[in-house]
A = this chain, B = another copy of it.
Amino acid sequence: MPGAYRQLKHVLFGRPLPSERLEHERLNKKTALAVLSSDAISSVAYATDQILFVVGGAIGMMAIGYVIPISAVIVGLLVLVGLSYRQTIFAYPNGGGSYTVAKENLGVSPGLVAAAALLTDYILTVAVSISSGVAAITSAYPPLAIHTVSLCVVSIVLLTVVNLRGVRESGAAFSIPTYAFIVMMVALIVVGVYRATMGHELAFLASPLKVDPTSARHGAAIMSPLTGFALFYLLLRGFAEGCSAMTGTEAISNGIQAFKQPAQRNAATTLTWMVTILAAFFLGVSYLATHYAVMPTTDQTVISLLGRHIFGTGFFYYALQYSTFAVLVLAANTAFADFPRLAGILANDRFMPRQFSARGDRLAFSNGIVTLALLAIVLVIAFHGNTARLVPLYAIGVFVCFTLSQAGMVIHWMRSRERGWRRRAALNGLGAVATGIVSVVQIVTKFTEGGWIVCLIIPAIIWVLVAIHRHYTQFADDVKFTGHSPILPLHHTVVVPVNGITKATAGALVYATTISDEVVAVYIEVDKRLTDELQRTWEEWDIGVPLVVLPSPLRSILRPLVEYVDNLRMVMPGELVTVVVPEIVPKKWWEHFLHNKTALYIRTAFMFKPNVVVVAVPYLLGHAYRLRDMINHDDETDVVATA
C-alpha cells in the first residue's frame, strides 16, 4: 500500500486498532432504549403517511376516517409481538436473532429464509430511513427537494465512513437524537391533543390544508366510493403498509448482551418501554392526522404538516424536523451494525464469502459495511429517494422473520418443557399465526406495488447462500488432509527460459540452481540468425547448465515452452517441474509498457497444469538492491552488495 493512500486512509478512517480493543460496553436501560429502539420508534415518521398515501390514493380525503381503526389494529399486533419477544429474551440470553432461533429450532432452510429476509430488510432499513429522514429536511426546506437523491447518497456515504472508523454502541452521544425526538413528539402530541379537545383553534388553522374534520371523519363510511370487498381490500393494503411501524421491534431481543446485569430483566423492561412509546406515538400521530385532516403530499410529511399546524413554522417546528432527521439517521445506523454482524455470522457458517467475517483495521466488519452502503445507494437511486415507493418493499421480510422466529420459539418451548411451557408456546404460537397471516397479507396486497421485487430477491439470496455453502463444503472436503506421515521431497526439474546472457537471466539461473540440481535453460528460437551467437557465448560461459533450443516457427514464446514442459512430464510421470522466469520490475509506471509481461503470460499458461510451478524472480530496474548476483564476479566490480 503506497504511503499517500495509507495516510488518506488513516485520516478518513483512523489508525488501525489492535484486536484487544474489541470489548463490549454495557448499557443501562435508558441508554439502551435510545440505542436499540431508534429503528422502531422512528417508524412513526413514515407509517401514518403510508396508510394515508395508499388509502387516500383511492378514496381521497375519506381515507382520514380509516387511519385510527387501522392504527389500532397495528398497535394490537405490536403488543402481541412485543409480548412474544419478551419470551425470546428470557429463552436466548445471548441474543436471539431470527436467523439463530429459526436455524436452531426449525432447521437450516427456515434459518436461511430468515437470513435472506433479514439481509433484505437491513438494506431497506437504510434506504427507507435515510429517504424518510431527508424528506423531513426537504419538508422544512422545500427548495431542497430537487436534491433528494444527492442528499440521501451523501448521508449514506457519511454513515459508511463513520461506521468504517468503527462506531461503538457508546450510548451517550447516541441518546441525544432519540430523546430529542421523543421530547419533540411528546410536545407535538400533547399540544395537538390539548388544542383539539379544547377547540382552541388559532388564526393559522385557516390554512388550505384544513378541511372540516367532522365531515371527513363521519363522511368516510357513508360517502366512500368503494364498498364491500374492494373497500376491505383497500383497508387491508393500508394496514399492510402501516405495518412498517413495527419494523425494528426485534432489535432489543437481539441485543441482550449490550445490557447491564441483570441483562434479561433490563432488556425485558426496556422492550416494554419501547412498545409503549411506539404505540403511543403511532396512535397519537394517527389521531392528530385525523383530527386536523392532514394528507401527506410528495413535498410534506404528516409530521411536518402537523408541526407547521400545531407549532407554527418557528423554532419548535424546525426542532421537530431536525430531531426526526436525526433519529432516522440513527435508525439507518443500526442496520450498519446489524447487517455486517449477520453477514459475519453467515460467513462463519460458510453461507457468505469469508471476507465478511474479517474485521478491518478499525475492528469493524468493513466488507459488510461497504456492501450494505452500496446496495442501499442503488436502491435510493433506483427509487429516486421516494419513501412512499420504498416502503411497500419493506415489512414483508420483517414479518417473515417475526413468523419464523416465533414458530421457532414454539418448538423451543415444546422441546424444553420448562415451567409454564404450554402458556408460553401458546403465546408465541398466537404471535406466529398472527404475523404469518400478516406476512401473507403483505405479500398479496403489496405484490404489484414492488412487493414482487422482494419475492424474487429473497429466494435469489437463498440460492446464492446455498451455492456458496456448497462451494465451501466441497472446498473443505477437497483440501482436508488426513495423512499423518512426514513429507517427502519430489524429483524436480527446473526450466529457465532465457533470451540471452544478462543479469536478469543470471539471477534466474542462480535461483534455479539453488532450488534443484537439474536445471535446463531453454531458448525459444524465433529468428534463426540469433541462435548460433547465443550457443557460442553459452558454451564460453560454461556454467554447467545445458541450453536447449526450441524452434518456434509461429513466433509464439509460450507454445514451444508449454510443449517442452508437457513432454518432460510425459517422459517422467510424477515429475515436478518448476519454470523460473526473470520478471523485470520497472521503477516508473510507464516503463511497464516497454517490457513484455512474459512472466505473467507464462504463469497464466501453466496455471491449470498439474505439477508445474512457475516462479517469477523479480529483477528490480534502477534500484540499489536486486536479487543478489551470487555469481563469481571475476571481472565485475559494479555489483551492489546486499545488506
Residues of A within 8 A of B (CB): 16-20, 353-355, 358-361, 468, 471-472, 474-475, 478-490, 492, 501-506, 509-511, 513-516, 526-527, 540-545, 553-556, 573-574, 576, 578, 584-585, 591, 593-596, 603, 607-608, 610-611, 613, 615-623, 625-636, 642-643
Choice from B19, B360, B492, B526 contacting A515 with Cβ under 8 Å: B492
Given A554-B361, A625-B610, A630-B490: A635 and B544 interface contact (C-beta under 8 Å): no
A642 touches B526 (CB 8 A): no
18 example contacts (A-B, Cβ-Cβ < 8 A) are as follows: A16-B554, A17-B554, A18-B553, A353-B594, A354-B594, A478-B503, A480-B503, A481-B502, A481-B506, A482-B635, A483-B633, A483-B635, A485-B631, A490-B628, A576-B630, A611-B642, A613-B616, A613-B617
Most B CB atoms within 10 A — which of A511, A574, A623, A629?
A511
Copies of this chain, count = 2
Given contacts A483-B629, A483-B635, A515-B578, 10 further A-B contacts (CB under 8 A): A354-B595, A475-B621, A479-B503, A481-B501, A481-B503, A483-B631, A487-B543, A610-B627, A611-B627, A611-B642
Instruction: Determine the distance from Cα of A509 to Cα of B489 in the docked complex, in whole angstroms.
Output: 9
Chain B residues with CB under 8 Å of A359's CB are 555
Q: Contact at A355–B596, with CB atoms within 8 Å?
A: yes
Q: A585, B608: Cβ atoms under 8 Å?
A: yes
A221–B483 CA distance with the chains assembled, in angstroms? 103
Partner of A631, one of B487, B527, B629: B487
Q: Does the CB pair A613–B610 fall under 8 Å?
A: no
Most chain B beta-carbon contacts within 10 A, residue among A358, A515, A576: A515
A506 near B480 with CB under 8 A, answer: no
Complexed CA–CA distance, A502 and B483 (Å): 10
Docked complex Cα distance between A472 and B622 (Å): 12
In the bound complex, residues from chain B placing their C-beta under 8 Å from that of A632 are 483, 485-486, 488
A549 CB to nearest B CB, Å: 15
In angstroms, Cα B504 to Cα A353, docked, is 19
Q: How far is the CA of A503 from the CA of B608 in the complex (A)?
A: 17
- A559 to chain B: closest residue by CB: B16
**Closest residue of chain B to A630, judged by CB?**
B490
Determine how close the nearest CB of chain B comes to the CB of A256; give it in whole angstroms.
23
A582 and B306 CA atoms in complex are apart in Å by 65
Cα of A492 to Cα of B480 in the assembled complex, Å? 30
- In the bound complex, CA of A553 to CA of B554 (Å): 54
